[in-house]
Structure 1
Amino acid sequence: MYYKLTNTLVAFTLLGLGGCSIAQTQNHEHVETTNSRTNFDVNAVYEQKQIAHNAQIQNEYDSSKQFIPGKHHKTLANYVEQMALDLVDTLESENDEDTPNINIAVTTLVDLDASLNNSNQLGNQISETLIHQLQKFGYSVVDFKTTDTIDVNSRGDFAFSRDIAKLSEDQMASHVLAGTLIYRHNGVIVNTRVINVKTKQIAASSRKLIPLYVLDKEDIYLSSN
């Protein structure tokens, strides 16, 4: 009798231990499965966020998309003033004992094409504004389009001319300011430089992008004259 009870207790004990082992194994497998699923979900979320972040950066720096502010107070004169400042910064070192007086003749900015002989309203307007800016910064500017006499006729009284026969042949300028216009989808790149007439060396230069929305605001035509 005692022997049977002992065997029965041993059997129940073994069954209990086996059940605990199976339960622990199942719990361990469940934990591993849960952790694996959690790691997978975290990686998937991270990848999705990374893709979205990269797409946002691409959109921000996509050169084909033009930034157009809803409201702005920028004018063409603001950009031309920055060009003049760039030129003046370099010209200050040029204005030494060898060249005590810098007289600058400002020419019309031209399209950067094969002929370098085409311009438009923008090229002429930048040149006119540069004359004012350089004068304001204390530099002597030569207006070579001024005739020796005033032409008086029924249309008005005129002091300017592009007829070379009416202009002075004397070399009045020590330097010439010239420049080119390069057209892009988001604006116009303006390159200007001041050139020493005698040596043909560049005394100063500047490069500025004028956004298209600034030109549109001022109704500036970009077609050639």
Structure 2
Amino acid sequence: MRTLLTTLLAFSLTGCTMMQDNLESNAQTVHSTKITRSIQSPLNTNQFFQAEAPDQKKMFGAHNGPKKNINHYVRGMMQDLASNLKYVNQNTPLAVASFVFLDDKYDEGTLLGNQISESFMHELYQYGIPVIDFKTTGYMRVTPKGDFVFSRDYLELDEDQNFQYVMAGTLVNHKGGVLVNVRVVGLQSKAVVGSAQGLIPQAVLDALGSSERTDGIMLKSSAR
């Protein structure tokens, strides 16, 4: 009987010792976890923010950027012109003439020259300069082919026009495109009060097509 009690007591002491060891082991584990979590370094902000702007060429490709047209180059020339323009302001109306080729007749326009003048009309208006569209007849002409308010017939236009300055320019064929010379001139004084130059690349000019009809079919050809 005494031997049995001794054996049971030994087992009880062994069990208590094992439980105590487990508790101490768990406590050390928790303590170790707390230490590990307390010394953990903060998150790297580079995981959330890019250090530099992404390469647009890699994102969109080298040739998929915004395509430039004539208006882009006219806008650049307008900025150059505005930096040296004198006497022209919001109280001095201005008209824009067709741009003509320097080595051609000055009374023959082209699609390119007319488009450049149209683009400059827009840019001048954006700068707050009043632009007179002298090709406006002052009435609407209704025809079976359409309704029109513009005309190139001087008999349909007002003889007296309210503008003191005119923008005009010349074009020169260049190896890489067309060189544009633009200037603003006072009608009475003939004095140049502003000027600018620019080059429109040939690739941009090739995108401008003129409309011609052959046997009733509309054809497109590149502008001069």
TM-score calculated relative to the size of structure 1 = 0.62
Secondary structure in 1 matching 2:168: strand
The match for 2:107 among 114, 117, 124 is 117
Which residue of structure 2 lines up, in the alignment, with residue 6 of structure 1?
none
Counterpart pick for 1:203 among 193, 204, 207: 193
* Amino acid corresponding to residue 135 of structure 2 in structure 1: K
Give a deviation string over 1:97-144, Cα, whole Å, max 9, x none: xxx722110111111125222222111111111111100110000000
Cα 1:167/1:116, change in 2 over 3 Å: same
For 1:127, the equivalent position in structure 2 comes to: 117
Q: Segments of 4+ in structure 1 off by > 6 A?
A: none
Residue 165 (structure 1) aligns with: 155
The change in CA–CA distance for 1:207 and 1:178 in structure 2 (over 3 A counts) is same
- Size of the alignment, in residue pairs? 151
Quick one: higher RCO (CA 8 Å, sep 6+), 1 or 2?
Answer: 1
Q: Paired residue for 1:222?
A: 223
| 8 Å CA contact 1:111, 1:117 repeated in 2 | no
CA distance in 1: counterparts of 2:103 and 2:207, whole angstroms: 26
Amino acid in the other structure paired with 2:191: Q
Compute the RMSD of aligned alpha carbons: 2.1
Once residues 79 and 114 of structure 1 are traced to their aligned partners in structure 2, the CA distance between those partners, rounded to angstroms, is 23
Q: Quick check: which one's helix share is greater? A: 1
Counterpart Cα distance in 2 of 1:122 and 1:114: 14
- C-alpha offsets along residues 19-62 of structure 1, whole Å, 9 cap, x if unaligned? xxxxxxxxxxxxxxxxxxxxxxxxxxxxxxxxxxxxxxxxxxxx
CA, structure 1 residues 114+215, in 2 after alignment: closer, same or farther (shift >3 Å)? closer
Q: How does 1:72-151 map to 2 (within 5 A)?
A: 73-91=67-85, 93-95=86-88, 101-151=91-141
Alignment match, 2:52 = none
TM-score, normalised on structure 2?
0.62
Q: 1:154 to 1:112 in 2, by over 3 A?
A: same
- Separation in structure 1 between the aligned mates of residue 176 and residue 63 of structure 2, nearest angstrom: 16
The one-character-per-residue Cα deviations of 1:162-219 (angstroms, maximum 9, x if unpaired) are 0100000113111011111101221000111110111110011111011111222444
Q: Which amino acid in 1 is paired with 2:138?
A: D
Distance 1:71 1:187 in 2: 22
Quick one: percent identity of the two aligned structures? 40
Q: 2:176 aligned with 1:186, yes or no? A: yes
